[in-house]
Copies of this chain bind each other. A is one copy, B any other.
């Protein structure tokens, strides 16, 4: 039951909406999900009222961003899937993960969404399914080549990436942690012996 606008948005409204989305993405990435609405509006150069005209609630804004974020990730993995028509499938897998990691590490809000924001998770279900399908395919190839543990599932990958997101966030917040090291170890744990 999505709201399909009868008339397209007025030019200024469209511009403002885009600004809000960009500002929110930046704010959430920096501060996490508890970035303040007023701060987002200020960054976007609009009033809070304008923000609320486009998104009925803060949750809805988060959900919209989550949706976009998942779609982008799915794009990345699907692209990797095509590029890797032939080649080392284990390496195709790991480089994809490292690429995703770079994106996720820059976004504090990521893990907060994955690990328990019902509205956002629901909104992003389409992207999540695409992501799951593509990742599973990449996974299957690496397993067929005998380089990856045979029992690894997509769920394992999302678990690892969820932990990853928190570690990256904590590191950014000043904790003595190292997300590269973490990924190195975790990926090693996925290899066949």
Report which A residues bind B (CB closer than 8 A).
111, 114-116, 149, 152, 155-156, 158-160, 162-164, 166-167, 169-170, 173-179, 181-182, 184-190, 193
Contacts and interface: CB of A to CB of B under 8 A. Distances in A.
- 3 closest residue pairs by CB, A with B: A163-B163, A189-B189, A115-B170
A170 B165 CA distance: 12
| SS class, residues of chain A in contact with chain B | helix
Contact of A177 (B159, B177, B182): B159
A149 to B, nearest CB: 8
Contacts of A116: 170, 173-175
Contact of A163 (B152, B164, B190, B193): B164
B162 A114 contact: no
From A160, A185, A193, name the one whose CB has the most chain B CB atoms within 10 angstroms. Answer: A185
Contacts of A175: 114-116, 162
